[in-house]
């Protein structure tokens, strides 16, 4: 391990805004068994009081990487508390250091595996979740996708009623997979678009304040000119300006490469277990459509989006 990483890990220990629980704090063995089980961390249900000192809404970014998106949203919305979650301590160092040096009161970071996320947040403690350029798991397990029914079940344990999930990705495969999950479960779509910077996005009329576009399409230029924000019924849904103007490092790189960026926002509310999309999602078609991507080393990478959890 390089000296730079060791230095960052040591400095991470000094950041009050960064929680780095040991695995033993959330895992123990089932009585009389060698199997591990997940148990609640002490911060669960107590983020407002223990970390932020207020009862403002809490929004998570899962797979936040260096935390640039988390911080950008927090700067735009000081009335909301933002928590970036990632497993890579060297990446989290950048965001935690910036938040500490700038004394940002509404930013925190959590270092943990996202599979453990429901050990850290209590019922109705979180209002929104951002999934920014998550690994589409093209050839991996469906359960590993952060928008899979398995993860939606986890999110539902701590999201408020009407809780919102935002998916922003360069992977058309992941976008279409998530659309299929939403459709088969009858979830409410709040906004969607397959090329949001060139074509804008579709927003159902019920999600608009003072709607003037009957067809529901809102262009990027209209947003840039100070157009509609999302509706009053979803009082803390991030405005469209944030969707278009807040960009991660890799998102900017993808745009320079000419890759379209997709966006989907939906409400997670649902009774009963979440269904898998099955035949509603054409895996082979969208895997082929994903096409070649260029890796970070600028070498051709067939059928891979170039995205990883935590970018």
Positions marked catalytic: 135
Nearest CA among 29, 263, 275 for reference residue 148 = 275
Structure tokens of 217? 């399409």
Give CA torsion, residues 110, 114, 118, 122, to 10 deg. 30
Give a three-class secondary structure readout of the chain.
CCHHHHHHHHHHCCCCCEECCCHHHCEEECCCCCCEEECCCCCCCCHHHHHHCCCCCEEEEECCCCCHHHHHHHHHCCCCEEEEEECCHHHHHHHHHHHHHCCCCCEEEEECCHHHHHHCCCCCCEEEEEEECCCCCCCCCHHHCCCCHHHHHHHHCCEEEEEEEEEEECCHHHHHHHHHHHHHCCCCEEEEECCHHHHCEECCHHHECCCCCCCCEECHHHHHCCCCCECCCCCCCCCHHHHHHCCCHHHHHHHHCCCCCEEEEEECCCCCCCCCCHHHCCHHHHHHHHCCEECCCCCEECCCCCCCCCC
């Amino acid at each position: 391990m390089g000296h730079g990483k060791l230095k960052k890990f040591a400095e991470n220990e000094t950041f009050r805004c960064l929680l780095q629980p040991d695995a033993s704090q959330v895992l123990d063995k089932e009585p009389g068994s060698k199997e591990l089980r997940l148990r609640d961390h002490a911060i669960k249900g107590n983020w407002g009081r223990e970390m932020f000192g207020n009862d403002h809404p809490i929004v998570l970014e899962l797979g936040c990487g260096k935390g640039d998106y988390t911080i950008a949203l927090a700067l735009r919305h000081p009335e909301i508390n933002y928590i970036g979650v990632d497993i890579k301590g060297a990446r989290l160092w950048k965001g935690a250091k910036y938040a500490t040096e700038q004394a940002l009161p509404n930013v925190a970071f959590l270092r943990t595996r996202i599979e453990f996320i429901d050990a850290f947040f209590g019922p109705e403690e979180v209002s929104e979740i951002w999934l920014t350029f998550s690994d589409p798991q093209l050839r991996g397990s469906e359960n590993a996708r952060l928008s899979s029914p398995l993860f939606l079940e986890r999110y539902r344990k701590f999201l408020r009623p009407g809780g919102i999930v935002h998916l922003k990705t360069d992977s058309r495969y992941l976008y279409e997979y998530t659309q299929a999950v939403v459709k088969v479960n009858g979830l409410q779509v709040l906004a969607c678009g397959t090329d949001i910077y060139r074509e804008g996005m579709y927003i159902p009329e019920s999600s608009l304040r003072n709607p003037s576009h009957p067809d529901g399409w809102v262009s990027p230029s209209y947003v840039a000119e100070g157009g509609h924000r999302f509706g009053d019924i979803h009082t803390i849904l991030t405005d469209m300006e944030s969707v278009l103007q807040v960009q991660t490092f890799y998102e900017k790189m993808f745009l320079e490469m000419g890759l379209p960026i997709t966006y989907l926002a939906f409400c997670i509310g649902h009774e009963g277990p979440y269904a898998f999309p099955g035949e509603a999602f054409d895996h082979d078609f969208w895997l082929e459509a994903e096409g070649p991507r260029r890796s970070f080393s600028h070498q051709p990478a067939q059928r891979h989006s170039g995205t990883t959890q935590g970018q």
